[in-house]
Structure formats: structure tokens, C-alpha cells
């Protein structure tokens, strides 16, 4: 081991399930979260409190979080939820949620399509959510989408990402998760983006959230690590995708991230074999192919 550590934010139960066509039984979601909680993962994004008209797949958020309450009380694993507005925050606070993720876009097109408002309006909305959450001692993570490319507006300038990330940090987010929402980034894009961001933002305040539409997500993780990033979002079995980013595939698979780092001598704290079996199980439950070759290979052997 190098003595180095990375922090993995498992987003499978949220990003992974928000775009599945068939209804996923609530019991399966709860089972997934409980199984993931046995692998050493310390942060598992459980669901989102968004409008059920926009994302019906996660309309059972309340039931899912009620079932997590016991584990939340243990205090050793964090189960953050995604929050778009004060209404969602109210519902989450009523369930004693300790950490939330707000989500904004660097680009107008995705902002309007995903949360039905302009970027400027989204900053106002987010500020109100962050203020209220912090009054209640709730930690707030910030997601920033379309940091490389936007399904509606095309390529994104790193300077625009820098401006947004700084605003989100100033409003009180403890970290900004940089979303390659479309999954079109290559390591060159990641390097260029981080060269700009790291001039003004410490690496410890940034995380990578890379979708895998073109099979580059794992090399993007490696490049971001090389540039100093130590927190990565990933999804068991490579599940995931946003209903408002047409054609985007799942997140980088958690199994692949763990395999990469553990073989580099970097500690993830996650038990890979257990995780691989969960990836195999959940993809079978959902009737989708397993997005992690590592997972398939480990389960087969
Ligand atoms: P809107 O239609 O402009 O809002 O949606 P509204 O205030 O007019 O509300 C419409 C209806 O939704 C009303 O119900 C509200 O009460 C209800 P009605 O009166 O018509 O019966 N409503 C809610 N219900 C429950 N919880 C709420 C809530 N808010 C309103 N929180 C809104 C605006 C933001 C709500 C909507 O656009 C929305 O929910 N969008 C979320 C879309 C989403 O979840 N996308 C996926 C997550 S983001 C992502 O995946 C990217 C990420 O992974 C990073 C990356 O990859 O880049 C994070
Ligand atoms: Mg995502």
C-alpha cells in the first residue's frame, strides 16, 4: 500500500436507479442499500427528494429513508439524498437526514431541462436550500453537472465551471462533485478542466463524478487522481444515467474504481468480492447488463 486513500461515494441507489424504465420494488432498493452498507462503503447516496412528476422512479424516497433511519442513527455510514428545492429539503429534514446533495448545472440547457430554471435562478434556489440545511447542521455537498459537455449546449468552458464551483463553495457546500453528465470526457478534458479549477480551488474540495458512455470513465478517474483528486462517485454494476441527459450511460462502476485503486496500493476501504456479488445480484434483479467487467470476472471465478 502507498498509504494513500480515496473516498468513494456510492451513488448506485440514486443515480443508478433514477433512470431504470421498469418500476424497481422499494424492497429491492432497501436491500441494495443494506447490502452495500456491508462492504466497507462509508457514503451511500440513498435516493432523491425530487418531484415525482419529473422522476417517478424515486417517488418512494420517504419509505427508503425511513428504513435507513436505524443505520443513520449508528452514525458510521452516511446516507445522503439529492435535494432540488426547499420542498425536498423539508421532507428530508423530517426524516433526520444528516447530509444532502444539491445539484446545479454549469450550462443553461441542462439546467432548464433538468430542474426547469436558469442557472442564475438555480443559484438562488440552492442558496436558500443550503442556508436552511446548515441552520439544521446538515452537511451539503454540491453536484455540478455538464462540466465538460452539455446535451443541449455543447462543450463547456472550464472557466464557467470554475465560476460556478466557487459560488457553490462560497454558499457553503463542503465539496463540489464534478459531473461529466454526458460521459463524453477523455483524460485530456479532465486534465484541462482541473488545471483551471486547481488554480483557485484546493483538490480536497473537489470530487469526480464520471459517466461512462464512451468507456473512458475509469481512465478519467485515474487522470483526476493523478491531478490530486481523492474523492470519486461511482455506482455498483455501473448503473446510472440521468433521464434529462439522453443517451448518457451509467456511472463508472464502483467495482472498477476499487480494483484500480487497490491494485495501485491506494486504500478504498471496500471489500471488492462482496461488492462484485452485489453488482451481479442487482443487475440481475433489474434485468440490465452488468456494466463492470471486473464484477463479472470476479463472480465467474
Ligand atoms: P417544477 O415543475 O418547475 O416545480 O419542477 P414546481 O415547483 O412547479 O412543482 C411541480 C410539482 O412538483 C408540484 O406538484 C410540486 O408540489 C411538486 P403539483 O402541485 O403539480 O401536484 N414538487 C415536488 N414534489 C416532491 N418533492 C419535491 C418537489 N418539488 C416540487 N422536492 C423541480 C422543478 C426542480 C422540482 C423538478 O424539475 C425536479 O424535481 N427535477 C429533478 C430532476 C432530477 O432529479 N434529475 C436527476 C438528478 S440530477 C443528475 O442525475 C445529475 C448528477 O448525477 C450529476 C451528473 O451526473 O452530472 C447529480
Ligand atoms: Mg450522475
- Summarised one tens digit per residue, pLDDT across range 241-267 is 888 989 899 999 999 999 999 999 999
Q: Is the CB of 114 under 6 A from ligand 1?
A: yes
Annotated active-site residue 173? The verdict is no
**What is the pLDDT at residue 280?**
96
User: What are φ and ψ of residue 44, in 5° steps?
Assistant: -130, 110
**What is the pLDDT at residue 22?**
86
Q: Is the CB of 185 under 6 A from ligand 1?
A: no
Kindly give, in sequence order, each residue whose CB lies less than 8 Å from that of residue 22, ignoring residues fewer than 6 positions away. Answer: 286, 287
Average pLDDT over residues 40-65: 97
Nearest bound ligand to the CA of residue 156: 1
Distances (CA, A) of 95 to 63, 72, 88, 197: 10, 10, 11, 35
Class of residue 28 by CB neighbours under 10 A (exposed 0-12, middle 13-18, buried 19+): middle
C-alpha 83 to ligand 1 mean position (Å)? 9
Distance CA(234)–CA(211), nearest Å, equals 9
- Express as a percent the part of the chain with pLDDT over 70: 98
Task: Count Cβ atoms below 10 Å from residue 287 Cβ, excluding itself.
Answer: 9
Return the residue matching grid coordinates 433514477: 18
153 touches 184 (CB < 8 A): no
Task: Count Cβ atoms below 10 Å from residue 40 Cβ, excluding itself.
Answer: 16
**What is the pLDDT at residue 75?**
59
Mutate to test the pocket of ligand 1, among 14, 18, 50, 58 (most ligand atoms within 8 A of CB): 50
Beta-bridged to residue 51, according to DSSP, are none
Task: Count Cβ atoms below 10 Å from residue 247 Cβ, excluding itself.
Answer: 10
DSSP state of 165: H
Count CA atoms within 13 Å of residue 41 on its CB side: 34
41 touches 8 (CB < 8 A): yes
Distances (CA, A) of 29 to 18, 23, 64, 242: 11, 11, 7, 18
Answer yes or no: is pLDDT of 191 > 60: yes
C-alpha 244 to ligand 1 mean position (Å)? 12
183 touches 210 (CB < 8 A): yes
Residue 73 — pLDDT band, cuts 50, 70, 90?
Answer: very low
Q: Is the CB of 143 under 6 A from ligand 1?
A: yes
- Express as a percent the part of the chain with pLDDT over 90: 89
Entry pTM: 0.97
C-alpha 87 to ligand 1 mean position (Å)? 10
**What is the pLDDT at residue 276?**
97
Return the residue matching grid coordinates 428530508: 92
Q: Is the CB of 147 under 6 A from ligand 1?
A: no
**What is the pLDDT at residue 69?**
72
User: What are φ and ψ of residue 149, in 5° steps?
Assistant: -155, 150
Q: Is the CB of 85 under 6 A from ligand 1?
A: yes
Residue 82 — pLDDT band, cuts 50, 70, 90?
Answer: very high
Question: Alpha helices of 6-116 — where are they, by DSSP H?
Answer: 26-36, 61-74, 86-93, 108-115
Average pLDDT, the chain: 95
- The residue with greater pLDDT, 141 or 293, is 141
Catalytic residue of the set 117, 146, 150, 242: 242
Cell numbers at residue 265, please?
Answer: 496500493
**Model-level ipTM above the cut of 0.95:** yes
Residue 16 — pLDDT band, cuts 50, 70, 90?
Answer: very high
Q: Is the CB of 49 under 6 A from ligand 1?
A: yes
* Residue pLDDT, tens place only, 167-179: 999 999 999 999 9
**Nearest Cα residue to 206 out of 215, 195, 194, 196:** 194
Residue 230 — pLDDT band, cuts 50, 70, 90?
Answer: very high
Return the residue matching grid coordinates 457553503: 172
For 97-150, the DSSP string reads: --EEEEEEESSHHHHHHHHSS-HHHHHHHHHHHHHHHHHTT-EEEEEEE-SSEE
C-alpha 257 to ligand 1 mean position (Å)? 30
Kindly give, in sequence order, each residue whose CB lies less than 8 Å from that of residue 136, ignoring residues fewer than 6 positions away. Answer: 93
Amino acid at each position: 500500500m502507498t498509504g494513500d486513500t480515496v473516498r468513494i461515494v456510492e451513488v448506485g441507489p440514486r443515480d443508478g436507479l433514477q433512470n431504470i424504465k421498469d418500476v424497481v420494488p422499494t424492497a429491492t432498493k432497501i436491500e441494495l442499500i443494506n447490502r452495500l452498507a456491508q462492504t466497507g462503503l462509508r457514503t451511500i447516496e440513498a435516493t432523491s427528494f425530487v418531484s415525482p412528476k419529473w422522476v417517478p422512479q424515486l417517488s418512494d424516497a420517504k419509505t427508503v429513508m425511513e428504513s435507513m433511519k436505524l443505520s443513520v442513527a449508528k452514525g458510521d455510514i452516511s446516507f445522503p439524498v439529492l435535494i432540488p428545492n426547499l420542498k425536498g429539503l423539508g421532507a428530508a429534514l423530517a426524516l433526520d437526514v444528516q447530509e444532502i446533495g444539491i445539484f446545479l448545472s454549469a450550462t443553461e440547457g441542462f439546467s432548464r431541462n433538468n430542474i426547469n430554471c436558469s442557472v442564475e435562478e438555480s443559484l438562488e434556489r440552492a442558496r436558500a436550500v443550503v442556508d436552511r440545511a446548515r441552520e439544521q447542521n446538515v452537511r451539503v455537498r454540491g453536484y455540478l453537472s455538464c462540466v465538460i459537455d452539455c446535451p443541449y449546449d455543447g462543450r463547456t468552458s472550464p472557466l464557467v465551471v470554475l465560476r460556478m464551483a466557487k459560488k457553490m463553495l462560497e454558499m457553503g457546500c463542503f465539496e463540489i462533485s464534478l459531473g461529466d453528465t454526458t460521459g463524453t470526457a477523455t483524460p485530456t478534458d479532465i486534465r484541462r478542466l482541473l488545471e483551471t479549477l486547481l488554480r483557485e480551488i484546493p483538490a480536497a474540495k473537489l470530487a469526480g463524478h464520471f459517466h461512462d458512455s464512451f468507456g473512458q470513465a475509469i481512465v478519467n478517474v485515474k487522470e483526476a487522481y493523478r491531478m490530486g483528486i481523492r474523492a470519486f462517485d461511482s455506482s455498483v454494476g455501473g448503473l446510472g444515467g440521468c433521464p434529462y441527459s439522453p443517451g448518457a450511460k451509467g456511472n463508472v462502476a464502483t467495482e472498477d474504481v476499487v480494483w484500480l485503486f487497490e491494485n495501485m496500493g491506494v486504500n478504498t476501504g471496500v471489500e471488492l468480492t462482496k461488492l462484485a456479488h452485489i453488482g451481479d445480484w442487482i443487475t440481475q434483479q433489474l434485468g440490465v447488463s452488468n456494466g463492470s467487467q471486473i464484477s463479472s470476472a470476479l463472480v465467474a471465478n
